[in-house]
Amino acid sequence: MISSFVRVLVSASILWIFAFRAEAQVPKIQDFGKVIALCSGAPATEPNAQRDACTTLIEWGGNKPASLAIAHNNRGNAFARMGQYDRAIEDYDRALQHNPSYAKAFNNRGAAYQKRRDHDRALADFNQSIKLNPNYASAFANRAETYRDLHELGPAEEDYSQAIRLQPDLDGIWNARCWLRAIKGDLSEALSDCNEALRLNPNAAATLDSKGLVHLKLRDWGAAVADYNSALRLDSKLASSLYGRGLARLRSGNAAGGNSDIAAAKSIKADIAEEFERYGVR
């Protein structure tokens, strides 16, 4: 039985084959298919391999704007994975020059602007992506994250809820809303979201950390310590879990353990206490 990924790859290969000129420099079909797979970000593809494959496709000189838009968008994704956001934005710009209605490129460029803390441009791109594709869950999730960074928690929650409605298995989405609701103080709803996130992925340190925050704000010290213990077994350097566990231990009477955890958290993230104050925890 052919997997869904293989079917997509075969379809993509046919698209690219007809999109590019049949010139002497075009490689043999089996090589061409491999380059397409790498540029498309096939599973386990390293970002530098994706970048190089997309560059190869671009330099072959395709004569179809839609195909060049895909290649530039995918190379932008590779640069973004490498943390080279300025270069990623340049490629997303080129993708949109070739295809001004490319919702994915708007979303991806918005995410790159978000990484650069350019919130206004990020929001503009996410808005345009959603306008072009109102069912684009990732664009709603990314816009929610930008609103959250701007401390606009109401719009952020609305967008997370839209993303969940459109794609309930979107990676990290239930935890994102759990964390937001915990910060807002909607603790029952936050706990429900975290439980759903853990049902989908029981070994996510970030979700266990979020659940620890919920229990910390509920003043359930034992449950908070248990959650943070589970998170730290998966990521021993998670500053928020160390600090949260430290607070829970202090408040349950374990001064030595609590102070040790808080010191360890501050050695990893100096402003962790101020961060928790923003969450409503002192």
Q: How far is CA 237 from CA 22, 179, 265, in A?
A: 53, 19, 8
Identify whether the C-beta of residue 178 lies closer than 8 Å to the C-beta of residue 190.
yes
Q: Which domains does the chain have, with CATH numbers?
A: 4-236 (1.25.40.10)
In the chain, the N- to C-terminal Cα span, in Å, equals 56
DSSP annotation of 204? -
Q: Which two tokens stand for residue 257?
A: 């353990």
pLDDT single digits (tens) 110-164:
999 999 999 999 999 999 999 999 999 999 999 999 999 999 999 999 999 999 9
The pLDDT assigned to 24 comes to 38
Distance CA 227, CA 214 (A): 10
Residue 230 three-state SS: helix
Q: Do 143 and 130 meet the contact criterion of CB atoms below 8 Å apart?
A: yes
Amino acid 62: pLDDT: 63
pLDDT number for residue 1: 34
The low-confidence residues of the chain, meaning pLDDT below 70, are: 1-30, 61-63
Can you give the pTM of this predicted structure? 0.85
